Amino acid sequence: MERLQKVIAHAGVASRRAAEKLILAGRVTVNGAVVTELGVKVKASDQVEVDGQPLHHVAPVYYLLNKPRGVISSAKDEKGRKTVVDLFREDGVEERIYPIGRLDYDTTGALILTNDGELTNRLMHPRFAVDKVYVAKVKGVITNDQLKQLRQGVVVEGHKTAPAKAKLMSTSPDRKHCLVKLTIHEGHYHQVKNMLKAVGHPVVKLHREEYAGLTLAGLPSAGQWRKLTPKEVKVLQKLGK
């Protein structure tokens, strides 16, 4: 027997946390009876429905996308803007997938999409410290002291960020811009942009080149995607334990 929210997540309906909200809202039934309490366990033979629709076991799928600029990191957008899921729909992918975490509208780079709600929930939890590697083009030239500040953590909106890895990669000939590589494992709103702004270097462009050890090798163009290999999926699952 497994917890009801885990069964819902495995079916690709929602993440485990979102599944808990569905249960508490009275939108889930087991064998015809509404369940509104967490912790209920169900058997494989039990009939589970969400909003009147029976759950069907859906095989988990895992994709890596090189996210382009001007696309929303969401399954849908209230303003009607193009989403990362739309990119997959255009290529004939029919599974109900959603991104693990978010990249800003104008940020490019590595983004994982899946229908595995349990893995999504685990990888997004702060305690698992999943590394995310960004390359930022910023205004001005960052100093060694400012890099040291980033490595020790900076205060953003009253919160001190966790220590990051920070490296100056290159400087423009006119010294008006530079490229900075930043490795973090937190995921606060606009975190990289806010960290670099806090040390005096606003971001001009931002690209995530790596997530949880997965790089964009083989996906040179924005908008390209591929399925993760079984070995890559196992690595992600180990990170979330």
Residue 52 region by backbone torsions, left for phi larger than 0, else alpha for psi between -120 and 50, else beta: left
Query: Contact at 8 Å (CB) between 179 and 170?
Result: yes
Angle formed by the axes of helices 117-124 and 230-239, nearest 10°: 50
Q: 108-114 and 203-211 as β-strands: parallel, antiparallel, unpaired?
A: parallel
Indicate which residue of 46, 77, 86, 104 is catalytic. Answer: 104
Query: Contact at 8 Å (CB) between 87 and 121?
Result: no
- Is residue 104 among the annotated active site residues? yes
Query: Contact at 8 Å (CB) between 198 and 153?
Result: no
Query: What single string gives the DSSP state of each residue in 145-198?
Result: HHHHHHHH--EETTEEPPP-EEEEEEE-TTSSEEEEEEEE----TTHHHHHHHH
Helix (H), strand (E) at residue 203: strand 203-211
Residues acting as catalytic residues: 104
